[in-house]
Structure 1
Amino acid sequence: MLNVSVLICDDSNMARKQLVRALPADWPVTLSQAENGQLGLDLIRQQSIQVVFLDLTMPVLDGYGVLAALQREQLHTKVIVISADVQEEAVKRVLELGALAFLEKPVDPELLLSTLKRLSLYPVDTCAPQAAQPEVEFQVSFREAFSEIVNVAMGLAAAKLAQVLGVFVRLPVPNVNILEVGELQMALLDAHNDQHLTAICQGYIGGGISGEALLIFYDSEVADVAKLMRWHSDQEVSSVEMLLDLSGLLIGACLSSLASQLDIDFSQGHPQVLGQHVPIDQMLHVNQKRWRKMLAVEISYGIEGHHIRFDLLLLFTEDSIPLLQKRLAYLD
């Protein structure tokens, strides 16, 4: 059996490692990798790539851009999208752009095998000896591993948000860093300079891991959010209730997915207003004595077709980091 030329295009080292492990053991492949869509597209142009496993949310050029370029340049590589962005509209768009299938991250090996068979990409020649897959070495850092489970959680939360609001949610590459509180303050001040904001906070704890989620809204956009939620924003209480409901949905879905992947249960506090119609530095002043060093996750959601964005921050305490590292060691 001739080797199949396969490209894995994903910015996550952890995701690439998981996918290599999920490939059928007796599927003889020549494997290439790319950490963003532009590098992947360059490899497709230069080599005879037969099958591409393509992520959607990547820097430089995302998966949609890769699919559009393949269609425009009439490059006939067979593409299977494997993504955490499970919005119905995302699935529809990639199939319209020529992808043969869409699989959810982290990919299930049995589902991957059945998909390859269905697409006639895995013809088993029982008379020929089966070649073992090549060994590929991966060194996955804690930050890379945690970023990938955040990516999955982010996608599931966006799918729920998209369903409730009837919109398409633009997903970023999540930003994950271990920071001193002063570093986080400087980054937030830089990102939200001269903006009046409203923030909802919600604490969580489970398995010795604890932290606080902050959902930050731009005041200039709250009326547009209210219209999508079909609320009347002429009364202050209605806006607050609307933001609390939206925060509970987004934060709850994200934490639920993280807990499931880490095999723990999070107890969540009630969402509360941290600050309203104030600059970001006044909100940070409220919490600065409660934090020293933390694992900070920043996810900036945007609503396509609307001038609406909001930032979700997940802040894990310093004591939680070693426990998270132990949990992620089992996933690696």
Structure 2
Amino acid sequence: MIPLLVCDDSNMARKQLIRALPADWPVSISQAANGQEALTLIRQGQARVMLLDLTMPVLDGYQTLAALQAEGLSCQVIVVSGDVQEEAVRRALQLGALAFLRKPADPAELHRTLAELGLLTPSEPTPAPATTSAPELPELKVSFRDALREVSNVAMGRAGALLARALGVFVQLPIPQVNIFEVGELHMTLLEAQRGEQFSAICQGFIGEAIAGEALLLFHDSQLQDMARLLGIQPHDNTQNAEMLLDLASILIGACLSGIAEQLDLRFSQGHPQLLGQHACLEQLIRVNSRRWRKTLAVEISYSLEGHAIHFDLLLLFTEDSIRRLTAKIGYLME
């Protein structure tokens, strides 16, 4: 039996990955929720092969790969990540990963990769269709919030890759946050996080198959000049700044919604991005637009650009009525 370690902070991601394993691959499976847990298991000899995520708390995938090299630990690593930037792939391979697969892992591609690395023998059969059972494992409990966070993580990674190509930078991706807020709680959370700063904001509505909501993209005004310079735009031209924000919003919002829709087998109709406000404090933006929001399911994503003091916040705000349909769609995905 080959000791296999699946390292990802999401129960949903681990469940999907274990299901994708070749049915007849003789492995004993261990799990870790972050790199620190993974290193402990590897030091104990419980992992000869590891399937490793990049975006995790405590110790991320890059730090885990670096620690393996620094300690001279023997473990064959395949990265399986939603961060599909070309630079993310390059860095992972430079740190010793043997291969890089995008989430969610395709069973045939995973099988092919394992075979190419010599981890499967030629005599082992090719994987059957997706209905084939994966190696036995105690049932993984996946909550709605964890599942939506993982779906958002994959969508976020695709949007980050597009943004990286457009700007020629490496985009640092966070762990998405998923919460259900009363309208007052959402406002208070935003105000406490961004007190005293001025913002420009873009909103874009979306609807599809009993799911509706708005995407809200917040740009810190203090960083707009740096962003404009990065794109070769005159930093004090308000018209060009507005066009720049709308273009960036189209990339981020469009790619995120497309990624979510693809995973959940949905189709969203999207409104045109609209400039919600420029150079206003967040309290003003909230007060002027408070009628847009009620109780909401909020997915929060904060993008940062490496080497630049630039970050912006994307919120996907789903209506309360959308939660039942989202729950059903995610439940089907987990079956």
- TM category, shorter: over 0.9
Corresponding residue of 2:290:
288
Corresponding residue of 2:41:
43
Residues 33-72 of structure 1: pairs in structure 2 closer than 5 A: 33-72=31-70
Corresponding residue of 1:32:
30
Q: Secondary structure of 2:333's match?
A: coil
- Structure 2 distance, partners of 1:254, 1:229, is 22
Task: Give deviations 1:45-68, integer Å, cap 9, x for gaps.
Answer: 122410000000001110000000
- Structure 2 distance, partners of 1:187, 1:296, is 11
> Contact between 2:9 and 2:34, CA under 8 Å: does it hold in 1?
yes
- Structure 2 distance, partners of 1:189, 1:51, is 45
Q: Secondary structure of 1:275's match?
A: strand
Residues 190-229 of structure 1: pairs in structure 2 closer than 5 A: 190-229=192-231
* Letter matched to residue 90 of structure 2: K
In the TM superposition, residue 277 of structure 1 has moved relative to its aligned partner by 1.1
Corresponding residue of 1:265:
267
Task: Give deviations 1:224-280, integer Å, cap 9, x for gaps.
Answer: 111222222222111111111111111111111111112121111111111211111
Give yes or no for the alignment of 1:94 onto 2:96: no
Q: 1:176 aligns with which of 175, 178, 185?
A: 178
In the TM superposition, residue 193 of structure 1 has moved relative to its aligned partner by 0.9
Identify unmatched segments of 5+ residues in structure 2: 125-133
In the TM superposition, residue 122 of structure 1 has moved relative to its aligned partner by 1.4
Give yes or no for the alignment of 1:330 onto 2:328: no
Task: Give deviations 1:181-218, integer Å, cap 9, x for gaps.
Answer: 11111111111011111111111111111100011001
Q: State the TM-score, normalizing by the size of structure 1.
A: 0.96
> Contact between 2:219 and 2:311, CA under 8 Å: does it hold in 1?
yes
In the TM superposition, residue 124 of structure 1 has moved relative to its aligned partner by 5.5
> Contact between 2:36 and 2:58, CA under 8 Å: does it hold in 1?
yes
* Letter matched to residue 307 of structure 1: A
- Structure 2 distance, partners of 1:280, 1:35, is 35
Residues 227-306 of structure 1: pairs in structure 2 closer than 5 A: 227-306=229-308
- Structure 2 distance, partners of 1:178, 1:187, is 12
- Structure 2 distance, partners of 1:167, 1:323, is 37
* Letter matched to residue 70 of structure 2: R
Once the two structures are overlaid, the 10-residue window that deviates more, 9-18 or 287-296, is 287-296
CA RMSD between the two structures: 1.5
Corresponding residue of 2:3:
5
Corresponding residue of 1:82:
80
Q: 1:73 aligns with which of 71, 74, 88?
A: 71
Corresponding residue of 1:146:
148
Once the two structures are overlaid, the 10-residue window that deviates more, 188-197 or 299-308, is 188-197
Once the two structures are overlaid, the 10-residue window that deviates more, 221-230 or 167-176, is 221-230
> Contact between 2:211 and 2:321, CA under 8 Å: does it hold in 1?
yes
Identity %: 61
Corresponding residue of 2:128:
none
Equivalent residues, number: 327
- Structure 2 distance, partners of 1:288, 1:97, is 47
Q: Secondary structure of 2:289's match?
A: helix
In the TM superposition, residue 125 of structure 1 has moved relative to its aligned partner by 5.5
- Structure 1 distance, partners of 2:142, 2:266, is 22
In the TM superposition, residue 40 of structure 1 has moved relative to its aligned partner by 1.1
> Contact between 2:211 and 2:325, CA under 8 Å: does it hold in 1?
yes
Give yes or no for the alignment of 1:17 onto 2:19: no
Once the two structures are overlaid, the 10-residue window that deviates more, 95-104 or 187-196, is 187-196
> Contact between 2:9 and 2:32, CA under 8 Å: does it hold in 1?
yes
Q: Secondary structure of 1:5's match?
A: strand
Corresponding residue of 1:129:
none
Once the two structures are overlaid, the 10-residue window that deviates more, 229-238 or 193-202, is 229-238
- Structure 2 distance, partners of 1:188, 1:124, is 55
